[in-house]
Structure 1
Amino acid sequence: MTGTLGAILAGILLGLSLAAPPGPMNAIIAEESVLRGWDAGFRAGLGAMSADACFFVVALAGVTAVIREAEAVRAGMMAVGGLLMLYFALDAAKSTGESVVGTDRDPNSTGFRRTFALALTNPYQVLWWLTVGVTLLDPGTLAVPVLDEVHVATGSAAIVVGFFVGIGLWITAFPLVLTRADRRIDGFTPAIAATSALVLAGFGLLFLYRALFLL
């Protein structure tokens, strides 16, 4: 039982290591949360989580190893991802203007489709699966420092379950924190929307630069 619980905890930590860092996916989740509510932010998180489920399947099939070796494929993914981020940045900037003038919130959320498309074209997401993510699949052991250097078995169903539980915890809690803060802080919504636009634009330009560098 201890080994199973340790593997689940290790999986949760791995899931959080992918979901929690600031980046374009969390920018869209934040934008959806403050503009359209918790459920829209959660659905945006589900889009990114669904993409991770796809990456998990292709990692099992060994496809990610092909992507790692094909620079042209990675460059193409970066270019498409960069263009998508710039497009979404313009949308976020438009939302900033609407929130400032106090227009009603648009109930129609496209967060799921945006994060799903963005995650599938995100080479850094693939890189994560080629490095940290392989821990989920390869039989072996993983040290968990927070458990006094306990080592847990990898390549098991328990660590995979824990991984997706970790992502699920993040996409549930992150939008909840943002929506509650939005009710208490004046000007929170336009600030988050503006930050989302800047983050997406910055990553979009970075991806396009990296794509040109790989070609």
Structure 2
Amino acid sequence: MRYLQLTLIFLFLNILAGLAQNGQFPSQMWHKGQITTTNGQVFQGTLKYDLENNLVQLQNNGIETFGASGVVQFEIFDEQYGGVRTFYSLPYSLTGEYETPIFFEVLTEGNNIVLLCREYITTDNRGMGMYSPMVMNPIWGPPMSGAYKLAFNFYFLKDEKIQKYSQKKKELLDILYDRSDEVELFMRKNRLTHDQRGDLLRITAYYNQIR
């Protein structure tokens, strides 16, 4: 578990470095990977994903598009960032009306709880000044140059239910209620926040470890 945790943290640091170098977000790039469909077929090639529309494209002798309803999971390998990222198609209601399959990236998983996320690109004008534009770092939070940032919605899969996380500390401790005191102490000792991607990964991994 600790090895997986450290591997994912290093992956996120590498993603940050890659973004700073080429100015592209992961969803705007083609990655080597594979798709597993609901009928058990596995397709390999280069992939590009679109979480907003829940689509993944396969480039291999042409381009083929798959919707989340026809996919079990897909994996990509970021050659620039040096890590495998896994996305699952899971039933969830984004609008509050009815559940449909959508894509979630798995950040860390265990026997008790799974941390999921969905990334999106948004604008951030808070650092715009007369010298150079600055936006929030897409992974950890400190500023970096550019007009856009990578933001995340986080979800917890627990007891076979997906719960969207509002990124408030009280809600996090409520979700991890049976070990909330230990989790809060772990956060204080390691100076972890309740709303940063890398910190949430460590907190969730720790909860699964002590649970």
* TM-score with structure 1 setting the length: 0.24
More relative contact order, 1 or 2 (CA 8 Å, 6+ apart): 1
Higher strand share: 2
